[in-house]
Amino acid sequence: MEGEAAHHLGRVLRAEPGQLYELSDGHRVCLARIEEVTRDRISFSLIEDVPVHQPTLQTSLLLSIVKFDAFEFALEKATELGVDTIVPLAATRSEKGLLAAVPKRAERWKKILLEASQQSRCLSIPALAPLTKPETAFSSYSVSLQILLSERYEAPSLRSILEEQSAPPASATLAVGPEGGWTDAEFQCAQSHGFREVSLGPFILRTETAVIASLASLNYALSRK
Residue 118 has pLDDT above 90, yes or no: no
Classify domain 3-50 at the CATH topology level: Ribosomal Protein L25; Chain P (2.40.240)
95 with 77: CB under 8 angstroms? no
| HSE of 175, CA atoms in CB hemisphere, 13 A | 35
Residues 58-67 have pLDDT tens digits of 999 999 999 9
Residue 77 has pLDDT above 90, yes or no: yes
Q: Domains of the chain: which residue ranges?
A: 3-50, 58-222
Residue 225 has pLDDT above 60, yes or no: no
Angle at 198 between CA 195 and CA 200, to 5 degrees: 145
Residues 26-71 have pLDDT tens digits of 667 788 888 888 878 888 888 888 877 667 789 999 999 999 999 9
Residues 130-186 have pLDDT tens digits of 999 999 999 998 888 999 999 988 999 999 999 888 788 889 999 999 998 999 999
Could you tell me which residue, 181 or 223, shows the higher pLDDT?
181
Residues 99-117 have pLDDT tens digits of 999 999 999 999 999 889 8
Tell me, what amino acid is at 21?
Y
d(CA 174, CA 168): 15
pLDDT given for residue 20 in this prediction: 85
d(CA 185, CA 92): 9
Could you tell me which residue, 1 or 97, shows the higher pLDDT?
97
Query: Is 58-222 a CATH 3.40.50.720 domain?
Result: no
Main-chain phi, psi angles of 222, to 5 degrees? -115, -20
DSSP class per residue in 93-112 = TS-HHHHHHHHHHHHHHHHH
* Span 202-212, average pLDDT: 92
Main-chain phi, psi angles of 13, to 5 degrees? -90, -5
d(CA 179, CA 196): 20
Whether this prediction's pTM lies above 0.85 is answered by no
Q: How confident is the model at residue 2 (pLDDT cuts 50, 70, 90)?
A: confident
179 with 93: CB under 8 angstroms? yes
